Amino acid sequence: MTRMIYVSFTILLSLLLGGCSVEGGDKSQPQMVDYFADNGTGNPLAVVQQPAGEYHNGITYVSYQGPFEDPYIAAYNHEAQSWLGPFRAGTSDLGRRVGRTKFDNHGKPTLLIDDLGYIHIFYGGHGGDKHHGVNTLGDVHHGANKHSISKRPLDITEWEAVDNISVFGTYNQAIKMDNGDIYLFYRHGAHRSDWVYQKSTDHGRTFQPPVSFLKHKRRTDVKAVDSWYAWVTRGEGNELIISFDYHLCLDHDAGIDSRGHVPRRHDVHFMVFNTETDEWRTVDNQPLNIPLTREEAEQKTLVMDTGDMWTFNGSTHLDNKGNPHVSINMGKDIGEKAGGPKLTYHLRWDGNEWLGGSPVNGQKSGISRGDFEVTDPNTIRFIISDSDGKDGVVAEWLSRDGGDSFIKTRELLRRKNSTFATTAMIKNAHPDAQVIVGQIARDTADRKIFLLGQKGPIQRPLKDATLPKDTSTFVSK
Ligand code: ZN
């Protein structure tokens, strides 16, 4: 009798414990969230600092702007479905400026893996600082462009600072060629500066001096300076392709806009750089002089004259026929307060002329940012971050007719009272991990960072995604 009661009791106990674990007490079933980090800071990601991530041998390496605007790196193992990091890869001067009252947001990390497997992070620049001396290729603003290299190949846990690029750099874009050469493209200063590249033939251990390819120049007809925003990626063979828009950088007393200096940008351009011959050309093989001036650009590299419409530069990619496609974000005025839609547009070169100019997405307000991939000339797939009322949305938009029309095929992420900052496509991306996005929520200064692919966001246990935040005094909820 006693034994029977005992047996019944142990069965009951095991049932109770079993019930308990189903209710959520089981350590093998941690609470999961769909972001991998919650310590993004300010505007933590963008399309221009690129690539922000790379897929390599089963692992997606990602970067974003974390506390004090430092670069943070994490890694996702697709087979093990496990995360490592984030780890801090360097120390940003932008996040430690004396008297800082707001985020600078220009020194977001750019990530590249060299042929030996070392991971490079470029970050922290917004034109350099006065104490760096004279910038012979432009003007000076804040921060210092910096470079960190992982201490061991494919290991994100420890980093080494190397002093081998110009401190004046802004908007780093890092590209590796088939022979292992690395090209680092950036604007050599603040708005009124040339765009340049530096080349490394020793896996990023040393870089050659900067070479200007887009010229900043004072205008004589209006009180303004010619300025540019560029986006660079691999073309065919040893070529690089560049899309860029023009910034009319007004003096504050130019008298053209009552707001003084505004982000007035126009038009979209395209050109090609042959890294083997060091020659630059147009899409239809006319030679170009570098650094390219506005006058020559207007004659030779124009993809679309956007008239009164303002632009925010997008990206460019080749289709499988070797012809370029470009995207450009465009609206009546870039200032959010001015209202009106700012959509993403697509154009493509068919071998003879630029076609398209249709909007990819449709919305009533807010801004639109993203990147795309193209296979055959007709099949173009965008991932775009925009708004649906007060919701932030990241969605896939697909064209099967060469960009004449796009349909929203898949929503990857949606959050209330938010917008999303997004990166360009991750290099060599796994289908499950194509872009990194940061949620800019209106009710918190904490920025959740997501890794998104065709199945939506990759999950992580809540306890691992919960990280120490920026403690800057001006950061408020
Ligand atoms: Zn300007």
Q: Rounded to whole angstroms, how far apart are CA atoms 442 and 370?
A: 21
pLDDT at 20: 40
Q: Rounded to whole angstroms, how far apart are CA atoms 333 and 10?
A: 72
pLDDT band at 28 (very low <50, low <70, confident <90, very high): confident
Portion of the chain with pLDDT greater than 70, in percent:
92
Q: Which residues surround ligand 1, an ion (CB under 5 A)?
A: 191, 249
- The encoded tokens of residue 121 equal 């992070």
Q: What is the pLDDT of residues 235-268, one digit of tens each?
A: 999 999 999 999 999 999 999 888 888 889 999 9
Q: Rounded to whole angstroms, how far apart are CA atoms 165 and 431?
A: 33
- Report the separation in Å between the CA atom of 228 and the middle of ligand 1, taken as the mean of its atom positions: 9
- The encoded tokens of residue 115 equal 């042929």
Mean pLDDT of the chain: 92
- Report the separation in Å between the CA atom of 310 and the middle of ligand 1, taken as the mean of its atom positions: 13
- Selection from 35, 45, 99, 38 nearest residue 69 by Cα: 45
Rg of the Cα trace of the chain? 24
CATH match of 2-18+42-381+398-409 with 2.60.40: no
Q: Which helix (H) or strand (E) holds 402?
A: none
In this predicted model, which residue has the larger pLDDT, 114 or 365? 114
- Report the separation in Å between the CA atom of 51 and the middle of ligand 1, taken as the mean of its atom positions: 24
pLDDT band at 18 (very low <50, low <70, confident <90, very high): very low
In this predicted model, which residue has the larger pLDDT, 365 or 219? 219
- The encoded tokens of residue 2 equal 């006693």
Residues classed as catalytic: 106, 171
Q: What is the pLDDT of residues 327-355, one digit of tens each?
A: 999 998 755 555 556 899 999 999 999 99
- Res 4 pLDDT > 70: no
pLDDT at 26: 56
Provide the greatest CA pair distance for the chain: 105
Tell me which of 90-104, 119-133, 192-206, 292-306 is least confident.
90-104
pLDDT at 11: 41
How does DSSP assign 85-112, residue by residue?
Answer: EEEE----SGGG-TT--S-------EEE
Sorted by sequence, the CB contacts under 8 Å of residue 122 that are 6+ apart come out as 109, 110, 112, 145, 146, 147, 165, 169, 172, 174, 184, 186
- Report the separation in Å between the CA atom of 193 and the middle of ligand 1, taken as the mean of its atom positions: 10
pLDDT at 362: 80
pLDDT at 420: 97
Residue 162 backbone zone (phi > 0: left; psi -120 to 50: alpha; other: beta): beta
Domain spans in the chain, listed from the N-terminal domain onward = 2-18+42-381+398-409
pLDDT band at 476 (very low <50, low <70, confident <90, very high): low
pLDDT at 17: 40
Tell me which of 15-29, 47-61, 273-287, 364-378 is least confident.
15-29
pLDDT at 340: 57
pLDDT at 460: 98
Helix (H, G, I), strand (E, B) or coil at 18: helix
